A and B are shown apart, each in its own frame.
Chain A
Amino acid sequence: DIQMTQSPSSLSASVGDRVSITCRASQSIARSLNWYQQKPGRAPKLLIFATSILQRGVPSRFTGSGSGTDFTLTIDSLQPEDFAIYLCQQSYNLPLTFGQGTRVDIK
């Protein structure tokens, strides 16, 4: 199974900050990496698929990059509604696996 490791596990930031979250795969997954946002008591919401393609309706302040084993989710100018948990997921092969999540909270 491909293990996905996110860092940091949590971070504190202010509105307007730029934040970056890293996801590392235990083996190369090409660009088969997806990002989700999850708020308390809610299902995950797809943000970005195939490393860098923004899902419809997701603000352009979210960007994804990377390839192989190392990937990054960047949020430019953090907004109040962005405080949440962010999760990566590899779709290179089965079993589909997720990172453990990165909690972004208010400083």
Chain B
Amino acid sequence: DVQLVESGGGLVQPGGSLRLSCAASGLTVSNNYMSWVRQTPGKGLEWVSLIYSGGATYYADSVEGRFTIARDKSENTLYLQMSSLRADDTGTYYCATVVWSDYYFEHWGQGTLVTVSS
């Protein structure tokens, strides 16, 4: 069975940084398309970032230049490095597998809460 477990969320001040992790089991992160999706009070569910198995990365305009998606093959873990955080980045962040042929989110983690506040 596929299991995705996020961690790293917490309270951070505006302008601060945070790194989220998504530890995977039952699948190989580097062989799959993987995404981060967030759920915020203001915008509901919002796709944040995508990494292809080949390594190409894509970002929502709202996080481009501030967030970086990455993965560690040896740890079988997906990461989201977030910097210059703003209040509207507050929300629950999910990692999810993306089915390459149809770009839907098949497996989801339980989410990790990020709160940006002074």
Interface of A with B (CB < 8 Å)? Answer: 32, 34, 36, 42-46, 49-50, 55, 87, 89, 91, 94-98, 100-101
Are the CB atoms of B44 and A32 closer together than 8 Å? no
Are the CB atoms of A49 and B102 closer together than 8 Å? yes
Main secondary structure of the interface of A (DSSP, over half): loop
**Contacting residues, chain A, for B105 (C-beta < 8 A):** 34, 36, 44, 46, 89
Number of A-B contacts (CB under 8 A): 53
Closest partner residue, chain A, to B95 (CB atom): A43
Are the CB atoms of B111 and A43 closer together than 8 Å? yes
Are the CB atoms of B104 and A95 closer together than 8 Å? no
Are the CB atoms of A46 and B104 closer together than 8 Å? yes
**Contact A43 B108, CB 8 Å, known A98-B45, A98-B47, A100-B44:** yes
Interface size on B, residues (CB 8 A): 21
Are the CB atoms of B104 and A49 closer together than 8 Å? yes
**Contacting residues, chain B, for A34 (C-beta < 8 A):** 102, 104-105
Closest partner residue, chain B, to A89 (CB atom): B104
Closest partner residue, chain A, to B105 (CB atom): A46
Are the CB atoms of A32 and B103 closer together than 8 Å? yes
